[in-house]
Amino acid sequence: MTDRSLAELETIANKLRLHVVEMTYAAKSGHPGGSLSSADLMSALYFRVLNHDPSNPQWEDRDRFVLSKGHVAPVLYAALAESGYFPVEDLITLRKMGSKLQGHPVRGKVPGVEMSTGSLGQGLSMACGIALAGKMDGKDYMTYCLLGDGELQSGQNWEAAMFARQYGLKNLVAIVDRNHLQITGNTEGAIGLEPLPEKWKAFGWNVIMIKGHSMRQIVEALNKAKQSSRPTAIIMDTVKGKGVSFMENNAGFHGKACNAEEYDIAVRELKEAIQ
């Protein structure tokens, strides 16, 4: 955990976005849209909030992070590399034969990856198990789980939500990337999620609503969650493809990399944001 300023965190978030664009372009595949909408959160977590040690990934008292929406592995890999878990130069090997950076994160292959994820709807259950283990062992580490809004259409999430409240997992924070888009388009056109805050409250959770691209609101919400007597759900209102003009609010870039012309535009825009 560091004392990086909000401005520094915003710069790091855009560096993560640039990595995502470069990685997926080199791979000619991947999931840039949801990676970009999650970048501000990942910056806040890995460079301000999480207690973690890149030189000792298995440190017993570390905070845990579970990426339930495993398809946005590029932004997780970018955060891990920038944190020092492995060389930044390795990022360009995403999805290449022989690379440890697979399309979805795999525990044991990449330092800092806590759980193998990608089958949507399962991450919160895993996070519940980790949080319960910490409680039973008398540890004070926090467990954070990032969920896509589309995957909340899977019922297993709500079983996990009931479990977390039943067992008093105040050390658990579920973070919803509410960008309103999934692979088929708008979430409400698939299976409507609203009223989403009331759903979490009905399951006994503490709920915090924030703007998911406000670094100040993200950091404040994560700090407030640590003080809660109940499990906390942070619902972030975000923009899919944030930071790249033609990707923003474009469901087509859920699982599609840029072409050469788009790549040049994206890189230019993100480098301008970093300066």
Among 243, 247, 245, 248, which Cα is nearest to 256's? 247
- What average pLDDT is seen over the chain? 97
pLDDT band at 244 (very low <50, low <70, confident <90, very high): very high
Query: For residue range 18-31, what is the model confidence (pLDDT) as tens digits?
Result: 999 999 999 999 99
Q: Quote the distance between the C-alpha of residue 97 and its chain's center.
A: 25
Task: Look up residue 189 and give its two tokens.
Answer: 């056109």
pLDDT band at 3 (very low <50, low <70, confident <90, very high): confident
Q: What is the pTM of this model?
A: 0.97
For the cut 90, the answer to whether the pLDDT of residue 263 exceeds it is yes
Residues 126/115, Cβ–Cβ less than 8 Å: yes
For the cut 70, the answer to whether the pLDDT of residue 2 exceeds it is no
Query: For residue range 147-197, what is the model confidence (pLDDT) as tens digits?
Result: 999 999 999 999 999 999 999 999 999 999 999 999 888 999 999 999 999
Task: Write down the pLDDT at residue 275.
Answer: 75
Task: Write down the pLDDT at residue 1.
Answer: 53
Residues 233/152, Cβ–Cβ less than 8 Å: no
Q: What gap in Å lies between CA 268 and CA 270, rounded to an integer?
A: 6
Which domains, ranges and CATH numbers included, belong to the chain? 6-274 (3.40.50.970)
CA distances from 215 to 2, 26, 274 (A): 15, 29, 15
Average pLDDT over residues 235-258: 97
Average pLDDT over residues 248-252: 95
Query: For residue range 40-96, what is the model confidence (pLDDT) as tens digits?
Result: 999 999 999 999 999 999 999 999 999 999 999 999 999 999 999 999 999 999 999
Task: Write down the pLDDT at residue 191.
Answer: 94
For the chain, the DSSP string reads: -----HHHHHHHHHHHHHHHHHHHHHHT-S-HHHHHHHHHHHHHIIIII----TT-TT-TT--EEEESSGGGHHHHHHHHHHHTSS-GGGGGGTT-TT-S--SS--TTTSTT--S---STT-HHHHHHHHHHHHHHTT----EEEEEESGGGGSTHHHHHHHHHHHTT-TTEEEEEEE-SEETTEEHHHHS---SHHHHHHHTT-EEEEEETT-HHHHHHHHHHHTT-SS-EEEEEE--TTTTSTTTTT-GGGSS----HHHHHHHHHHHHHHH-
